[in-house]
A and B are shown apart, each in its own frame.
Chain A
Amino acid sequence: MHWFPEGVSTYSGTVDGLFKLILIVTGVAFVLTEVLLFVFAWIYRRREGRRATYTHGNNTLELIWTIVPAVFLVFLAFASARGWKAIKGSVPMTDEVVTVTGAQFSWEFRYRGADGAFDTPDDVVINDELRLPVGKPVKIRLRSKDVIHSLFLPNFRLKQDAVPGVTIEVWVEPTKTGTYEIACAELCGFGHTTMRGTLFVLSAEEYGAWLAEAQAAVAPPAEPTAGAPGATETPQQAPPA
């Protein structure tokens, strides 16, 4: 059986690899300590005529069992920092950009229209369905209309809280076409469970065709509109501490 959801992004391997590394090392530690515990529990059960060994400890052992875990943890910290920097530390240059807005209780996915700008009348706006091309990094501009939500793409190992008042940029590059699920991973009210979406990863051609069709299908507005429709006009703030 598969323990993890199938990993289909360029960095899902990094995340899973670190998980497995930690699992192996902690697994060894787990087996060692539990075996010792249960063995000691059995062989040192009280028996007539025996007396416990009077000792207050051993400083050499203290040093060993401090330094050995420390070495592993330092290594793990550096390996993790590298992965973290690659995934959340920066966003690669790409012209595939989607704006995602969480709201109670649905996800709004917004693509630029022919004018190449967000929050204009010709944007392609779809609720709860996200389409992405395989093999290209996509930048996600994540926002929230009301409370904190969290965009969770399990198969891509992507999770990012959506904070009202801020636009947070993350990225992902799908490696395999298919249909995947989107969930909200931060309690956002009574509809939190229902804030589900579907992610379709399409081939580059299919995606291009779909997007062109979607852009063309955006009906021109009946009257000229003055500002960005629907989007929250919140002042852009500096990145939170």
Chain B
Amino acid sequence: MTISPRTGSEPGPDNSRVGTMVFLMAGSMFFAGLIGAYVVLRYGGPVWPPPGMPPLPVGLAGGSTAVIALSSLALWRAIRALRGLDAPGTRRWLGVAAGLGILFLALQATQWSRLLARGLEFAVTTYGTTFYAFTGVHALHAVSGILWLLVLVWRQRELWVPERRRRSIEAGALYWHFVGAVWVFLYVALYLL
């Protein structure tokens, strides 16, 4: 009889990677709850948007969607640089991703100010509430992701990437891709359908 110790002796995905992916499953369920609520609210009533309410700026939001997609692309380049042991390249692309993230937020803020100016209020109709609340919650997640990236950019000044920071960059990248993916779902649900 032999024992074949599989567990614990081969390197598997490390804890921070597994933990981040598990955490993102929870995050997905949170946004699934929001989107589920949105579907019920939207199709449960007779007309959407309610009469007199401005339509959502599909084009502008399309722009912010493109920006956040590009930011994920930049982050993908950062990870490639990381795996290629190119610390300055990693830093550069992290910065680009963060910068595009900030641009994304600016475009979101522009949408908000435009809609507010056109009379879409927060509390009066669920049309307004779901728009501001759900894009707002998403924006909060985006802010935390951008801050994470900025801290990494600030700290990564060495010519190599310390192990702990490597894990943080990988986790942060997963998180940022998640934020982008959630936005795509929100864009489709809120604007396109």
Contact = CB atoms under 8 A, between A and B. Distances in A.
A and B touch in their complex, CB below 8 angstroms? yes
Interface of A: 235, 237-238, 240-241
Contacts of B44: 237-238, 240-241
Interface SS of B by simple majority: helix
A240 to B, nearest CB: 6
Given A237-B44, A237-B46, A241-B40, 7 more contacts: A235-B46, A237-B45, A238-B44, A238-B45, A238-B46, A240-B44, A241-B44
A240 B45 CA distance: 9
Interface of B: 40, 43-46
Nearest to A235: B46
Contacts of A241: 40, 44
B48 to A, nearest CB: 12
Nearest to B45: A237
A237 B45 CA distance: 6
11 contacts: A235-B46, A237-B44, A237-B45, A237-B46, A238-B43, A238-B44, A238-B45, A238-B46, A240-B44, A241-B40, A241-B44
Nearest to B36: A241
A235 B46 CA distance: 10
A238 to B, nearest CB: 6
Contacts of A240: 44
Contacts of B46: 235, 237-238
Contacts of B43: 238
A235 B44 CA distance: 12
Contacts of A235: 46
A237 B43 CA distance: 10
Contacts of B40: 241
A114 B99 CA distance: 73
B50 to A, nearest CB: 10
A241 B44 CA distance: 7
B132 to A, nearest CB: 23
Nearest to A241: B40
A237 B40 CA distance: 12
A241 B46 CA distance: 14
A33 B23 CA distance: 41
Contacts of A237: 44-46
A91 to B, nearest CB: 22
A235 B40 CA distance: 17
A240 B39 CA distance: 12
A237 B44 CA distance: 7
A240 B46 CA distance: 12
A167 to B, nearest CB: 15
A237 to B, nearest CB: 6
A238 B44 CA distance: 6
Nearest to B39: A241
A238 B48 CA distance: 13
Q: Which 6 A-B pairs have the closest CB atoms?
A: A241-B40, A238-B44, A237-B45, A240-B44, A237-B44, A241-B44
